[in-house]
Chains A and B, each alone.
Chain A
Amino acid sequence: MNRRTLLKHAIILGGGMVFIPACGGKEEKKASAWKHLSLTAGEEALVGEMVETLIPATDTPGAKALEIDRFVLMMVDDCYPKDQQAGFVKGLQQSPAVAEKLFHRSFDKCSTEEKIKILQALSTHTAETGQFYKLLRELTREGYLKSKFVMTKLLPYELVPGRYNGYVLLKQQTA
C-alpha cells in the first residue's frame, strides 16, 4: 500500500471514529499509522472536532468534511521537528482538561460557543496547549485555503493568469 492509499484508508477509519467519546483514555488503540505521532483514536477525533470549530460547515463545507484534521496531523507528522511534534501532542492531550474545567463536559458535548471559549482558553492554559493551538490554527488555515474545494470553488486559484496589472483601482478604499 502506498502512502496515499494508506492515508485514504486512515481517513475512512478516522471518519468512523468521530462518535467515540473524545475524552479518550490511554488504553484506546492507535487510530492511524503516522510515522512519528502516537495518538489515540479519541485524540484524533478531538482534532476533528476542533478544526470543525475553527472552520465550521455553513452553506459550504467545514474543515472536517474537507479532511483538514487529517491534513493538520499529516503536516505535524511530516514537516515538524521532534520537539514541536511532542509539544503538539502534549498540548492536545492536555486539552480535554480545559473543557472539563470550564464546562464539566467533554469537548464534543459542548455547544459551539463553549467550544470556541475552550479553544481561546488553550492559548494561555499551559505552554503546550498554547503551542498546540497556535500550530493547529496555522495548519487549519493553510489546509483550508489550500484545499481543492476552496481553491477550485470558493477562491479559484489561477495556474495560468496570463496577465499582470500593477495599477488596479479598487472600488472602495480599504485598510
Chain B
Amino acid sequence: MQNTFDAIVIGSGISGGWAAKELTEKGLTTLVLERGRDVKHLVDYPTTSLMPYEFEHRGRLTQEIQEANPIASRCYAFREDALHFFVKDAEHPYIQEKPFDWIRGYQVGGKSLLWARQTQRWSDFDFEGPVRDGFAVDWPIRYADLAPWYSHVERFAGIAGNRDGLDSLPDGDFLPAWPLNIVEDHFKNTLKQKFNTRHLISARAAHLSQPQPIHLEQGRAKCQNRVLCQRGCPFGGYFSSNASTLPWAAKTGKLTLRPHSVVHSIIYDEKKGKATGVRVIDTQTKQEIVYNARIIFVNAAALNTNLILLNSTSGRFPQGLGNDNGLLGKYIAFHNYSATISAEYEGYLNYTTDGRNPAGGGYVPRFRNLYKQETDFLRGYAAGFNAHRSTSNPRPDAIGEDWKKQLLNPQPGLWRVGSHMMGETIPKATNFIALDKEQKDDWGVPLLRVNVAYDENDEKMRRDYHEQFTAMFAAAGFTNIKTHITPRNPGLDIHEMGGVRMGHDPKTSLLNKWNQLHACSNVFVTDGACMTSTATQNPSLTYMALTARAANHAMEELKKGNL
C-alpha cells in the first residue's frame, strides 16, 4: 500500500464518512483510517433478517453479558440483535473520575449503524446562545453559514420531515414526513390552542420515505418500516456511512479504506509548520505505520478526537496538537436526558395504529428561554413525544384455556403517551478529559480520564421539564401522569461534544470558523469535538454539515496553495 495521499480521514463513522465522500468527490486521494473491523453494507449485517424467535434469548441480554458490560448494557440498543456493533466494556477501558457511560461503536461505519436517526437543524437561537447567555465563547459561525450545507447533506442522506415553518427549528430539504398518529396529533393541537409558542412536529429522521434518484444511485431503497435499523438495513432505508457515504466515496476510485488501523497520533513537522501525516498501529500485526497527507480530517468521534490530539505531542506542541492555550479537552458538554414523563389517554379508543413509524413519533423543539431568559436556569430542552395503543390484559389472573385465548386475541387497551427530555448542558472548564500519565492501551495510547458531570442548571431544567410537561399533558386530558427521573450518567445520551471548540480567538478556542486548528491549519476537526455549545438538537446532522463545509473549504485552500 502506498503511504502518501492527498487527504487522511481518521474514523469512518457519520462525520468521517462525509469527509471521505466530499474529499474523494473533489478528486483527492483519500485514506480513511478506521480502528475497527470492516462492516460491508448488506454483507456484514448478520442479524438483519432474523425473526424474533430466531434469537436464542428473544432479544434479551444474558446475565453474563450484562455483568461483563455494565456500561454498554445501559444503552437501550445494546441487545441481542445488535451487540456485535458495540464496544464491550473490557475491550477498550477508560478511567471514570466521575461516572461516565462512554458508548462506542468501533467498526467501519462507527455509530452510524446504531444511531436513532433523529435529525434537526440548528437555528440562530442556538448559535447565538453562548454570546447571549454569557457562557463558553461565541460561535464563529451563524445559521446562514451552515444552511446551504445542511441542504447539501439532507438531500444526499435523505431526511423525512415536514416544513413546519418554525423559527426555532429551521426547515430543510425534506422527503415526506412520517405521519403522526391520532393521539400525537391531538397533543399537537392542544399545544397549538393552549401554548402558543410550543409545538409538536413529526420527528425528522434520516429515512428514505420517498427515495429520490440520488438515493437510488447510492443503491438504497425506500424504508420499509421494519424499525430494526440497529441491525443494519437490507434496504439501505436509513442513512449510515456503510449504506451511503462510504460506497459513494469508493465509486470515485479515490478512496482507500483501511480498517484495523488505530491512529496513535498526528505528526507535526516544525519546519513546515504543519501536520504531515499520522502514526498508525495495525491492530492485527501491531506494526506501526506512518501515512502522509496534505490535509487531515479528525473524525474519531468527540472524545477519541480529543484523545488523538492530546496524544499528538511535539516540541512545538508539548500539550497536544494545537493546544497553545491549554483548553484542549476542556468544555466538554453533553445532553441532559435525565427525565421522562408518561401518562395514559382515554380518548380515541375507537382508533389504533398499524405498521411501524421509523421516526418514532413527534418532537417538541425547545421553547424555554427561547426568545428571552425567563427561568432561573440557562437554556432549555427539546423533547420526544409519542403515543401508542397498549394491549389490555383485563384478567391478569387468568390461567389455562382462558389465558391462552386472551394472549391470542390481544385487545387494545388505553393509549399510552410518553416523552423524554433532551436538555442543553453548559460547557464548563471543569468538565474535561485528559490523558492518564501512566496507563496505556494495547496500542501504546494513553488511557482517557473522564471528568464530566451534571450540575445544578441541569437539575433545575429537569424540574422545569417535569412541571411544564405535566401541565401540557394535563391540558391534553392525559391521565395517570407520572414523572420519572432516569438516573443516568453523562455519556449515555451518546451526544458528548466539545474539547476542541470552535471560536474566533486562538486564545480561547482551538478551531477557526472553518474547523481548522488555529495553530495547525491543515488539520480539520469536524465531529462533536468541535462543538462550542450543544443546543438541544440531535447533533449528527450538524456534524455532517460542518464536515461537508470544511471539506469544501479545504479544497479551496488547497487550490489556492494555502495548505
* Pairs A–B under 8 Å by Cβ, sample size 24: A54-B400, A56-B401, A56-B404, A58-B404, A79-B62, A119-B399, A120-B399, A146-B52, A154-B408, A157-B52, A160-B224, A160-B225, A162-B224, A162-B225, A163-B354, A168-B352, A168-B353, A169-B350, A170-B350, A170-B352, A170-B412, A173-B349, A175-B392, A175-B412
The 10 A-B pairs at the shortest CB distance, nearest first, are namely A166-B181, A163-B355, A164-B355, A161-B355, A148-B53, A78-B62, A165-B354, A164-B357, A162-B224, A146-B58
- Pairwise interchain contact A144-B57, C-beta atoms closer than 8 A: no
Contact: A79 with B60, CB < 8 Å? yes
Is A116 at the interface (CB under 8 A from chain B)?
Answer: yes
Tell me whether A160 and B226 are in contact (CB under 8 A): yes
**Which residues 138-154 in A have Cβ within 8 Å of B in the complex?**
141-148, 150-152, 154
A142 to B399, CA, bound (A): 15
> Given A146-B53, A175-B392, are A168 and B354 neighbors across the interface (CB < 8 Å)?
yes
- Could you say which interface size class chain A belongs to? 35 or more
Task: Judge if B51 is at the interface, Cβ distance under 8 Å.
Answer: yes
For residue B217, give the distance in angstroms from its CB to the closest CB of chain A.
22
B residues 339-372 in Cβ contact with A at 8 Å? 346, 349-358
In the complex, what's the smallest C-beta–C-beta distance from A64 to chain B, in angstroms? 13
Q: Is the CB of B225 within 8 A of A120?
A: no
**In the complex the two chains form, is A161's CB within 8 Å of B407's CB?**
no
Chain A at the B interface: SS class: mixed
A1 part of interface (Cβ distance < 8 Å) = no
Looking at B56, B61, B184, B397, which has the most chain A CB atoms within 10 Å of its CB? B56
Interface residues of B (CB under 8 A from A): 49, 51-53, 56-58, 60-64, 178-182, 184-185, 224-226, 228, 346, 349-358, 392, 397, 399-401, 403-404, 407-408, 410-414
Find chain B residues with CB under 8 A from A155 CB.
408, 410
Besides A143-B58, A147-B53, A162-B355, 20 other A-B contacts (C-beta < 8 A): A53-B400, A55-B403, A55-B404, A62-B404, A75-B57, A75-B60, A78-B62, A120-B399, A146-B52, A151-B51, A157-B51, A157-B52, A160-B224, A163-B225, A164-B178, A164-B225, A166-B179, A167-B181, A174-B350, A175-B411
Q: Is the CB of A55 within 8 A of B224?
A: no
Q: Which residues of A contact B182 (CB under 8 A)?
A: 166-167
CB distance from A35 to the nearest CB of B (A): 8
The residue that B63 contacts in the complex, of A80, A145, A147, A161, with Cβ under 8 A, is A80
Tell me which of A53, A154, A165, A168 contacts B399 (CB under 8 A): A53
Residues of A within 8 A of B (CB): 53-56, 58, 62, 74-75, 78-81, 112, 116, 119-120, 141-148, 150-152, 154-155, 157, 159-170, 172-175
Query: Nearest residue in A to B404 (C-beta to C-beta)?
Result: A55
B400 lies within 8 A of A78 (CB): no
For residue A165, which residues in chain B have a CB less than 8 angstroms away from its CB? 179, 353-355
